A and B are shown apart, each in its own frame.
Chain A
Amino acid sequence: GAVVSQHPSWVICKSGTSVKIECRSLDFQATTMFWYRQFPKQSLMLMATSNEGSKATYEQGVEKDKFLINHASLTLSTLTVTSAHPEDSSFYICSASSPPVRGYHEQYFGPGTRLTVT
């Protein structure tokens, strides 16, 4: 159980276009979803936290108008990279949080989406 999917798994787009990435919790309802960015050989950097039906909370330094997050249901969150530029090329990973099992809200990670902006 506790499977999180992402779509697409990889995408190449031209500079200036927008790209939407979907994150779904397949077999549980996620109270909260998280979006991370990861550059090669580096750690995960939290971009934003989103709760269903409310506005996302962005980390300092993350442009909310550039990285649009929509959390329309308890099983789906989307990240749209608007007006993408080559520096936005990265590995984007989402995670979904379940109700406490071990005493904390365990996060289940998606497989990631590789974005390349040309």
Chain B
Amino acid sequence: GESVGLHLPTLSVQEGDNSIINCAYSNSASDYFIWYKQESGKGPQFIIDIRSNMDKRQGQRVTVLLNKTVKHLSLQIAATQPGDSAVYFCAEIPNSSGGSYIPTFGRGTSLIVHP
């Protein structure tokens, strides 16, 4: 995954635009991938997940794309709103058959939505 400890990259968008947040992961054997949203001063909140046997999954205004060939995950937010401003983290869940299910968090991206 992304290096932990470095400052967050930032994505600035205008309200109403679509946002794309990217994440590179490290473990090709991971079973699940999750996107979390963390607002300032709060804990992470689950947004959407995708299993490793899928390429795309859609939720309400959000779409997650998984490219296993290049170990890349993206989160697309349609019609971004000021309330979407937050830090977004991807996390990968190891293959459950290995016994460990502790997610590994990516570096995170700070999304700033300008009204």
Contacts and interface: CB of A to CB of B under 8 A. Distances in A.
Interface of A: 4, 6, 34, 41-46, 49, 91, 93, 95, 97, 102-112, 114
A106 B36 CA distance: 12
Interface string B69-106: 00000000000000000000100010010000111011
Interface of B: 2, 4-8, 31-32, 36, 41-46, 49, 51, 89, 93, 96, 101-103, 105-108, 110
Contacts of A111: 42-43
Given A34-B102, A42-B4, A43-B108, A103 B51 contact: yes
A102 B102 contact: no
B49 A102 contact: yes
A110 to B, nearest CB: 5
B50 to A, nearest CB: 10
Please name the 3 residue pairs, one residue from A and one from B, whose CB atoms are nearest each other, closest first.
A109-B43, A105-B101, A109-B44
B2 to A, nearest CB: 7
6 contacts: A34-B102, A41-B110, A44-B89, A49-B102, A97-B101, A104-B101
